[in-house]
Amino acid sequence: MRVNDAASAPAPAAIVLAGGRAARLDGADKAAVVVDGRPLVDHVLAAVADSAPIVVVGPPTLARPGIELVREDPPFGGPVAAISAALGVLEASAVETWLLACDLPHADRIVAALGDAPLPAGADALVLVDDAGRAQWLAGRYRLAALRDAVAALPAVDGASMRALLAPLRIATLPDRDDAALDLDTWPDIEQYRSTSRPAVPPREDHP
C-alpha cells in the first residue's frame, strides 16, 4: 500500500465503523455477516493491515488481535459519535487515517485506489465517488487534523450527520471504476453479492 512517494511518511491510521444498529438487516450484526468465507469486518481489517493503529468502533464481539476496540458514547450514537470515539485514541502525531465502513467486501480495492493517489494539495480528504456522483464518505482517506477540527466544531456528536461533520472539509474525489465502494446494507444486497461472488479456491493437491 503506497500512500505517497515519501519513503519516510508514516503509515496512516485506520478507523473502521462497525457499531450501527443495522436496521436494514433487521438488527443483525452486520460486521459479522459472512461473505467470501469470512465476516465482512475482516475483509476491511485485511485491507488496512498495514495501518497503525487500527481502531474499530463497535461492540466487544469485534475484538481482534492487533486492533484497538472502542465504543461510541452513547452506543448507537451514529457514525459521527463513532468517529469522535476513534479520534480520542489516536495520537496527536498521526497525520492521516482511513475511514471505512464495516460492510465493504471490496475494501482492498478502496485501499489500492486511494492509497496510490496522493491527497491533492489543499484537500482534507480523498474519497471515492460512484457513477451517480455520490461521494462515498466512508470509503476514504482523511487528514486527521481536519477531521479533528470538524468534530470539535460540532455542538454535539450524538446523532450528528456525516453531512454536517464534513461540510467544512475540502473533499477531493476519485471515480470508483472498480465497484470498490460496494456496500452490503440489506439482505437482498448480501444475497445478490453471494450469488455473483466467486471467492478464490485453493489449488487442489493430487495425491497418489
- Structural domains present in the chain: 13-193 (3.90.550.10)
19-28, 57-66, 72-81, 185-194: lowest mean pLDDT where?
Answer: 19-28
pLDDT of 15 > 90? The answer is yes
pLDDT of 103 > 80? The answer is yes
pLDDT of 8 > 70? The answer is no
pLDDT for residue 1:
43
- What average pLDDT score do residues 131-142 get? 94
Residue 100 pairs in a beta bridge with 16, 139
pLDDT for residue 113:
94
Q: How many CA atoms lie within 13 A of 31 on its CB side?
A: 22
Mean of per-residue pLDDT scores for the chain: 87
pLDDT for residue 20:
72
Q: Tell me if the bond preceding 202 is cis, omega within 30° of 0.
A: no
More confident residue, 176 or 94: 176
Give the separation between CA 42 and CA 107, rounded to whole angstroms: 10
Overall pTM surpassing 0.85 (yes/no): yes
If one counts every other C-beta atom within 10 angstroms of the C-beta of residue 202, the result is 5
pLDDT of 123 > 90? The answer is yes
State what percent of residues in the chain have pLDDT above 90: 64
pLDDT of 3 > 50? The answer is no
pLDDT for residue 27:
66
State what percent of residues in the chain have pLDDT above 70: 86
pLDDT of 150 > 90? The answer is yes
pLDDT for residue 105:
95
pLDDT of 199 > 80? The answer is no
